[in-house]
Structure 1
Amino acid sequence: MAKDWTICHAVQGKLFGSKEIVALSCAWCHEVYHNKESCFNPAKIGEECRLGNYAPIIVPPSWIVKLPNKGNFKSSIRVNNKNAANNAANKKRQTTKRNKKEEKKEPRAFIVKPIPSPEVIPVIVFINPKSGGNQGVKLLGKFQQLLNPRQVFDLTQGGPKMGLDMFRKAPNLRILACGGDGTVGWVLSVLDMLTPPIAPAPAVGVLPLGTGNDLARALGWGGGYTDEPVGKILREIGMSQTVLMDRWRLRVTPNTDVDSDHVSRSKDNVPLNVMNNYFSFGVDAHIALEFHEAREAHPERFNSRLRNKMYYGQMGGKDLILRQYRNLSQWVTLECDGTDYTAKLRDAGCHAVLFLNIPSYGGGTHPWNDSYGQSKPAIDDGLVEVVGLTTYQLPMLQAGLHGTCICQCKTARIVTKKTIPMQVDGEACRVKPSIIEMDLLNKAVMLAKRKHGRGDVQ
């Protein structure tokens, strides 16, 4: 591939009012030369481009095949005069069908035809511009500059499905999800729905732009993006380790043994039916729900990660005084692997029950005590850790303390007798009296783990 040269005269124009071209830059490898014979010569025009420092993860331009515009096809088959009348009649009928199809699906301007190469590990980037204040918008431009713009996708423009479909045949594919834990869950859920699935499954890395970013912490990508060079992140996502992560299915059915309490804005189901990070109900879900409703009402007040955490602390203090969920054990029944743990919840005075799939929760705290249980928790061990929390323990998690360890289990069954706030991976709502059954999905996802993780670094 020859270099794609672009010209620049901005510097000269500002300093001297001249429009003379000062430099030429390759749009792919970003090599820059002065427009002088001593620096740039005509021989460089046809020079082959090696795509620069990020060549192993860039989708080569040769993979992108532009589709011709409709009406530009030239048929090599001449229409006989006898068929002309039939073709004219068919054309009118086909026009209506074609217009209906075009309304449902916009035609693509290009397709991706990968050329297998062991040297290329393409990384497609999904960015949620709404995450992290204005960080997402700025990163979108940076990624498009460093990579092939066709491998960078704005999630607000139709979600991740189009990009995943487009690159489903790309060998050694990796994905970088830029956003909060909800963004990562979105990408993983769409991967689940692809038919046929991408094989082998691509590893998904995380650039944390959300508030808690607990999955990013567990995988070593840190607790929040702080202007780390994008190029460094791209190189590491291409070289990162791949790990498996359990995912848990939540099946919800109405509890017909009790009458609904008709709480306003209550739902028949949990926000998500697949858990990646954690599932909880009680006071912590109530705080998460209040945060979500306040942000929906006044989004301009929640454009700072620090301010968001301060709001969580404020709401936690309010519940510490009100103790709304002190009778939680009277409203729920908990069974894990067939054993009833409701009495243990009552004895511990739990105001919330938490099911952990990853070690990090609530912005980097560790509610589970690793010295408890049969084995040290892992994200691929087929076990979920069950922790009870009181309103007093919640703020103490930030100081490094733990909750009340209930058990490790493979299945769980929760029966609720009244409407209770619940959250799945940070997405919260009020759920009517229900029976919730949790079990392990019969598949795990591939995730990209940073070799030299930043852990809980903010």
Structure 2
Amino acid sequence: MKCSACKIIAHTSCINVLMERTKFYCKATFRDVGVRQYREQTCIHHHWVHRRSQKGKCKQCGKSFQSKLSFSCKEIVALSCSWCKTAYHNKESCFNLQKIGEECNLGLHSGIIVPPSWIVKLPSRGSFKSSLRKSPKKKTSSKKRSKEKNEKDQKTFVIKPIPSASVKPVLVFINPKSGGNQGAKLLQKFQWLLNPRQVFDLTQGGPRMGLELFRKVPNLRVLACGGDGTVGWVLSVLDQIGITPAPAVGVLPLGTGNDLARSLGWGGGYTDEPISKILSNIGESDIVQLDRWELKVEKNPDAGANEEGKENLPLSVVNNYFSLGVDAHIALEFHEAREAHPERFNSRLRNKMFYGQAGGKDLLRRKWKGLAEFVTLECDGKDMTPKLKDHKVHAIVFLNIPSYGGGTHPWNRTAGGIEPATDDGLIEVVGLTTYQLPLLQAGGHGTCITQCRSARIITTKTIPMQVDGEACKLTPSIISMTLLNKASMLAKRKGGKTNIQQTALETLKVNVDRINMSDYEQHHYDKELLKQAAMPLLVIEVNPVSDLEQVRKLINKQLEENSSSTAENELQTSLSPDWCFVDSCTAERFFRVDRAQEHLHYVMDIASDRLFILDTEPSTLPQTPEDETAFPSPAASNKQSNSLLGEETTPELSHLLEKTTDGILKAAKLGDLKMLKELHSQGFSLLSIDATGQTALHYGSRYGHKDIVKYLIASAPASILNMADNDRGQTALHKAAANKRRSICCMLVAGGASLTLPDHQGNTPRLLALQAEDHELAAYLESQEHFQLVSEDLETVV
């Protein structure tokens, strides 16, 4: 097996020996340091690999490497870094680690590589990790790495970019099947030159996953390796995701026609040009705009019976061209033949030969000589049908780019009037005959009909049509074409032009929302509820390179400016001095950002579309599984427990006069909160117990009724938290842990439930979680036991 990231080759059976005995590990393409520590180590270290063969010259002495061709030779001739590709002779005089240093600058393509420090591995879903119990680093096998990369149903990584005007990361999407299967070879080359995690195989789920993962990276660029259909696929997914601003898209032409790539200056097809040179061109390319047109199809109600066909076009957006008639008929025959015999279409030359043969047959048949009799064309409201009939066209082509059909130029610039452009909001309409089609390859042109901003086509017969090379037969229809949007594309920089570097990043406009302490305590386990409970506070404009310390000053300054003399406005804009930032996008749940680490984080590290801040005292926060560095609240007093997670509370004196009833227990079993509240309001005690000594909190915790548990913690006396049943001597926390009710365990611990009380068998809640094989819950409860013991010791000292 060969690793495309570090170019190590090993027998499958030798991989474990290589890792365990030799202690060789592949270069780290991401950080696995927890959701809080990812900014503590952002520098990249060299990844030195011993090489038995090496091309190029030694950086120290400048001499070439002498590689021996014998397979039995085990001599190490060089050491090279898998990141920056720097190589040295395997001699002390050349390779001196102290002089070279540990930090790597990522080499020639540092401006487009995504550093491993930007990619943070998240804890597994539902993880109860705690920084107080750091597990030892595990050796990562190749099978495990492969499994991690293929986890598509679970969010495994998050991108935490360091904003910089000089870094323009490039995402590479490769279609291995395009252009005679060239993409399969290029995939490994890109993974060697870049971070493998910024290179995506389109056959493994398409471009959506990669684009969504990197959507917050500033100055992002995309390289689509494939045909024009691959580029259209990437652009359509960008439309669906709605990234703002959308990244510019470049093209490495691997398809048959590659007309869009030709129009942008990338050539008609990849011909073994060094990938390193292509990446350099992508990094220095210009950004141009490309008009994109929307097609809407309706059934023609006035058309009679016709031959079978499709009721919709294969694509609804035009990037290159849309045509109907003889050329679409040839494209349809090509697609049908390729689907029937894919092995016959494994090179560009064979594909073009098929087009030539099919075009020759149509030249003789002249099947679509009467196309204008079945088509009505309106351009910008003007009827252009008479012109189509005068020229007896066999095909109508709507050109959005100058190139068509593999590099031809149907639009006659001399006779057409206005010079066509990709961003002028106009589409060129050209008529073609079967005589003009073959002449296009020799530099000929079609008949220029018009340029327009909208078009309407009405057909009365089933006619072959194609959109960007995707063909079908469309039943009689009414087709409307209008401008959809403009896409940012990368055009190859022409020689002689100076490279103008971007000097600054665009300012971000961020909505800041405030979360109250009571809402945080009540809904800390549920992201969506907290988002709904948050209140808009203000809108700020911030530089993407500003850290959270600077953002804090900006927020405080703007709050002072916004505050007025009226008490109402002052109340709405005031914050406690101890407010803190809340990370809403990294983990499954919200967690606070440590005040001492604010200088390490940027706004987009902790926010997606909204920035949340918590208006509270840090010492009163409950511990949540992802809240790794925050201290939990100590065992709460009766007063604190009654108000914690507060919903409706009643005075403690009223409990002395309450009556017991089985209805309270029944409501808890069924999860009927309305019934429980009504009984409580009628004077029935929430401390009611049955014959086994179980309370409503026992049943609510056992059956997983979160609303019941929240209400009981808020409204019942604090003694209910540690009441044990007669049968097993278990509290509500025992029941929740035994049944793996993680959220309820978290709520009970926050409310002040004891973690160290044993049942009749001597089991604490943590031991019951272990018996239930929920090791993450057990780890969480163990960390809370430590906090609770510390808190009790402090109270004893006081």
Q: Scaled by the length of structure 2, what TM-score is found?
A: 0.51
For 1:50, what is the secondary structure of its paired residue? Answer: coil
RMSD (CA atoms): 2.1
Partner residue in 2 for 1:430: 473
Distance (Å, rounded) in 1 between the aligned partners of 2:77 and 2:132: 52
C-alpha contact (below 8 Å) 1:13/1:19 kept by paired residues: no
Aligned-pair CA distance for 1:16: 7.0
Distance (Å, rounded) in 2 between the aligned partners of 1:9 and 1:224: 35
For 1:399, what is the secondary structure of its paired residue? Answer: coil
Partner residue in 2 for 1:181: 228
Partner residue in 1 for 2:701: none
Residues 1:360 and 2:403 are matched in the alignment: yes
Aligned-pair CA distance for 1:73: 3.8
Aligned-pair CA distance for 1:48: 1.1
Paired amino acid for 2:219:
N
Distance (Å, rounded) in 1 between the aligned partners of 2:71 and 2:466: 61
Q: Deviations over 1:131-181 (max 9, x none)?
A: 011311111111010001111110000000011011111111111100000
Residues 1:446 and 2:493 are matched in the alignment: no
Q: 2:311 aligns with which of 268, 277, 300?
A: 268
Partner residue in 2 for 1:222: 267
- Between 1:368-377 and 1:313-322, the stretch displaced more is 368-377
C-alpha contact (below 8 Å) 1:29/1:53 kept by paired residues: yes
Partner residue in 2 for 1:84: none
Q: Deviations over 1:34-79 (max 9, x none)?
A: 222122234268521011111111111110112234576434799x
Q: 1:138 aligns with which of 168, 171, 185?
A: 185
CA radius of gyration, larger in: 2
C-alpha contact (below 8 Å) 2:52/2:74 kept by paired residues: yes
Partner residue in 2 for 1:15: 70
For 1:335, what is the secondary structure of its paired residue? Answer: strand
**In 2 relative to 1, CA 267–24 (structure 1 residues): closer, same or farther, beyond 3 Å?**
same
Partner residue in 1 for 2:212: 165
Unaligned stretches of 5+ residues in structure 1: 79-102, 454-458
**In 2 relative to 1, CA 134–42 (structure 1 residues): closer, same or farther, beyond 3 Å?**
same
C-alpha contact (below 8 Å) 1:359/1:377 kept by paired residues: yes
How is 1:351-390 mapped onto 2 (pairs within 5 angstroms)? 351-390=394-433
**In 2 relative to 1, CA 104–126 (structure 1 residues): closer, same or farther, beyond 3 Å?**
closer
C-alpha contact (below 8 Å) 2:224/2:230 kept by paired residues: yes
Partner residue in 2 for 1:52: 107
Distance (Å, rounded) in 1 between the aligned partners of 2:312 and 2:305: 14
Distance (Å, rounded) in 2 between the aligned partners of 1:207 and 1:345: 37
Partner residue in 2 for 1:149: 196
Residues 1:198 and 2:243 are matched in the alignment: yes
Distance (Å, rounded) in 1 between the aligned partners of 2:131 and 2:445: 74
How is 1:250-261 mapped onto 2 (pairs within 5 angstroms)? 250-261=295-306
Unaligned stretches of 5+ residues in structure 2: 1-43, 55-66, 134-149, 496-798
Aligned-pair CA distance for 1:6: 2.0
How is 1:34-433 mapped onto 2 (pairs within 5 angstroms)? 34-43=89-98, 46-69=101-124, 73-75=128-130, 106-194=153-241, 197-263=242-308, 266-433=309-476
Distance (Å, rounded) in 1 between the aligned partners of 2:124 and 2:449: 62
- Between 1:43-52 and 1:24-33, the stretch displaced more is 43-52
Distance (Å, rounded) in 1 between the aligned partners of 2:213 and 2:100: 32
**In 2 relative to 1, CA 16–282 (structure 1 residues): closer, same or farther, beyond 3 Å?**
closer
Distance (Å, rounded) in 2 between the aligned partners of 1:233 and 1:71: 43
Paired amino acid for 1:234:
L
C-alpha contact (below 8 Å) 1:302/1:308 kept by paired residues: yes
C-alpha contact (below 8 Å) 2:53/2:78 kept by paired residues: no
Distance (Å, rounded) in 2 between the aligned partners of 1:63 and 1:329: 58
**In 2 relative to 1, CA 104–230 (structure 1 residues): closer, same or farther, beyond 3 Å?**
closer
Paired amino acid for 1:327:
G
Distance (Å, rounded) in 1 between the aligned partners of 2:293 and 2:126: 49
Number of corresponding residues:
424
Partner residue in 1 for 2:666: none
Q: Deviations over 1:334-359 (max 9, x none)?
A: 11111111111111010000000000
Q: Deviations over 1:375-428 (max 9, x none)?
A: 211111111110110011100111111111111111111111111000001110
Distance (Å, rounded) in 1 between the aligned partners of 2:72 and 2:127: 44
